[in-house]
Amino acid sequence: MVITDFLERNARLNGMDPALVEISPSEHRDKAVTWREASLIESANPDSPYRREISWKDFDRQANRFANLLLSRGVKKETKVGILMMNCLEFLPIYFGILKAGCIVVPMNYRYSSDEIRYCLDLADIEILVFGPEFTERMDAIKDSIPRIHTMFYVGKKGPDYTQDCMHLMSFCSSSAPPIALDEDDLAAIYFSSGTTGFPKAILHRHKALYCSCLTEQKHHGQRKDDVFLCIPPLYHTGAKMHWFGSLMTGGKAVLLRGTKPEWIFRAITEEKCTIVWLLVPWVQDILDHIDNGSLNLNDYLLEQWRLLHIGAQPVPPSLIKRWLKVFPHHQYDTNYGLSESLGPGCVHLGVDNINKVGAIGKAGYLWETKIIGENGEPVKKGEVGELAVKGPGVMLCYYKNREATDEILKEDGWLYTGDMAKEDEDGFIYLVDRKKDVIITGGENLYPVQIEDYLRASDKIKDVAVIGLPDKRLGEIACAIIEVKEGMTMTEDEVNDFCLDLPRYKRPRKIIFAEVPRNPTGKIEKPVLRERYCGKRLVEAQITG
């Protein structure tokens, strides 16, 4: 099977049931609208959020129409088609249309600058690009310097004159499935690495990896037809889409919420009767802070049907989950570990029955294997730190056009070396220690920033924290903590130092900076940004402090 088979089955068995709902709280319209009605609604009502809905039958039809539109433009199997769009109702039908045409789908980060867009278009050999109105200015700047792109489809009203009106053209295309045979070994998708360790790399996956992600996700979270999944993270990323695959497999409804304000999240959960919610760490922190300061009153919402919270995309502080479960003791909690090279979350999985292991990322996920490797290339003993390696059906085929980078992490017999340092306890549960490239070596001792960050997040005054290494003449590197204080609170360096007295002396931050902690759209701390910002600017000061 391939994942387009799930879509066609849902259209056949659950045709008129809702597949996707888009909610845009910052926009206001006078009623809930369907795909066809959306462009006709012009009036506004400040008391009603903008809501659009599409059924499984129309989802499949729109995917077929886009596939046939691509075929009318002469695409061949494995033609690369890029998507540069915000989360919206059109995203997934276009994604599936690309797959149905036998093409390779290439979702792109909506934060990319013009130069980054051009770089990725060239790296992935993209020939056709679909983009939305939010990217017009960026595309204007590079349209004359991307010669490989022969067609640009625009999803919106009144696109630039160098684009073609995607939705208008689709209306003239057949809604029947195109005559393209797909196989699990066919090439399916290119995802870009998050860029937390440098410029993005293009990660190539087969159809088999997408299909197996569906199996893994549904096995882990037990999605049923009557579950409603709230999806907030960006669909260009493997994390959000692969969690949604559980809904695809079972025919359940998913809600695409365009916004992260706590009151918007809880309103969507209430109005759409969401049962499964996936949140990133910063959003969980914001929700709990709003509850603590009284700006979010849980009595205003209907939450009884909400059964599962899961978090991923970054290390999850145990103190945060303990706070959450005090407020929501009836919730099941889960976390998944993964990376785009393993097609997103699921290669390591905690499991809802292992709440006593909060802080661990879990054990090998369904269909996956794991091992922890030492510097000598051999597995380490339990309790010792090594590099986490994973093996399973979601491992990438390669970094596209980058054999050297592929060989660095893809080893013999299909093992993928993740670059994450980890250890395993006596029960076989894996705990992340830190990124291999983020380890700080100070005076010959290895410091793992995640451990220091988790410790500091236990402070009632700290909203977020990132620890990086600063150059130091005497010690080589010192630990620097960038601390974001909760709104309405103040904190001093002396308070931080006092709070850290229970840490071993060599683990205590030697430099403290109060500033915002930058995170990318998937919630990961942008440590390269922090290093660039502070390693030069603060170098002399850091050396004096050391």
Q: How far apart are CA 526 and CA 520, in angstroms?
A: 6
* Arithmetic mean of pLDDT over the chain: 88
Q: How far apart are CA 183 and CA 3, in angstroms?
A: 10
Return the pLDDT at 520. 73
Q: What is the pLDDT confidence band of residue 320, given thresholds at 50, 70 and 90?
A: confident
State the pTM of this model: 0.82
- Size of the chain in residues: 546
Return the pLDDT at 198. 54
Q: With a cut of 50, say whether residue 134 has pLDDT above it.
A: yes
Return the pLDDT at 184. 96
Which residues, other chains included, contact 128 with Cβ-Cβ below 8 Å and sequence gap of 6+?
70, 73, 75, 79, 80, 81, 82, 103, 149, 150, 151, 152, 153
Which residues, other chains included, contact 135 with Cβ-Cβ below 8 Å and sequence gap of 6+?
84, 85, 110, 117
pLDDT tens figures, 37-78: 333 333 333 344 489 999 999 999 999 999 999 999 999 999
Q: Distance of CA 533 to CAs 115, 196, 470, 503, 524, Å?
A: 20, 14, 11, 27, 17
Return the pLDDT at 401. 94
Burial class (CB within 10 angstroms; exposed 0-12, middle 13-18, buried 19+) of 175: middle
Q: How far apart are CA 353 and CA 277, in angstroms?
A: 17
Return the pLDDT at 445. 66
> What residues does each domain of the chain span?
3-259, 307-435, 441-545
For range 257-278, the mean pLDDT: 94
Return the pLDDT at 42. 31
Return the pLDDT at 177. 97
Nearest partner of 54 among 28, 2, 6, 92, judged by Cα: 92
Q: How far apart are CA 345 and CA 339, in angstroms?
A: 6
Structure tokens at 264: 């918007």
Q: Distance of CA 182 to CAs 56, 92, 501, Å?
A: 21, 18, 60
Nearest partner of 255 among 214, 227, 219, 297, judged by Cα: 227
Residue owning tokens 């056009």: 401
For range 190-218, the mean pLDDT: 86
Q: What is the pLDDT confidence band of residue 441, given thresholds at 50, 70 and 90?
A: confident
Q: What is the pLDDT confidence band of residue 91, given thresholds at 50, 70 and 90?
A: very high
Range with the lowest mean pLDDT among 114-123, 296-305, 472-481?
472-481
Return the pLDDT at 443. 62
User: Which sign, positive or negative, has the C-alpha torsion 281, 285, 291, 294?
Assistant: negative
What DSSP designation does 178 have? P
Q: How far apart are CA 110 and CA 89, in angstroms?
A: 16
Q: With a cut of 60, say whether residue 28 has pLDDT above it.
A: no
User: Which sign, positive or negative, has the C-alpha torsion 89, 274, 338, 284?
Assistant: positive
Please give the class, per CATH, of domain 307-435.
Answer: mainly beta
Q: With a cut of 90, say whether residue 438 has pLDDT above it.
A: no
Range with the lowest mean pLDDT among 128-137, 172-181, 361-370, 432-441?
432-441
Return the pLDDT at 473. 67
Task: Output the CATH code of domain 3-259.
Answer: 3.40.50.12780
Return the pLDDT at 375. 85
The listed range with the strongest mean pLDDT (54-68, 315-329, 489-503) is 54-68
Q: With a cut of 80, say whether residue 103 has pLDDT above it.
A: yes
What DSSP designation does 28 have? E
Range with the lowest mean pLDDT among 67-71, 122-126, 190-194?
190-194
For range 245-272, the mean pLDDT: 95
Q: Could you tell me the CATH superfamily of domain 441-545?
A: ANL, C-terminal domain (3.30.300.30)
Return the pLDDT at 160. 96
Q: What is the pLDDT confidence band of residue 544, given thresholds at 50, 70 and 90?
A: very low
Q: How far apart are CA 21 and CA 257, in angstroms?
A: 8
Range with the lowest mean pLDDT among 94-98, 293-297, 314-318, 355-359?
314-318
Q: With a cut of 80, say whether residue 419 has pLDDT above it.
A: yes
Q: With a cut of 60, say whether residue 545 has pLDDT above it.
A: no
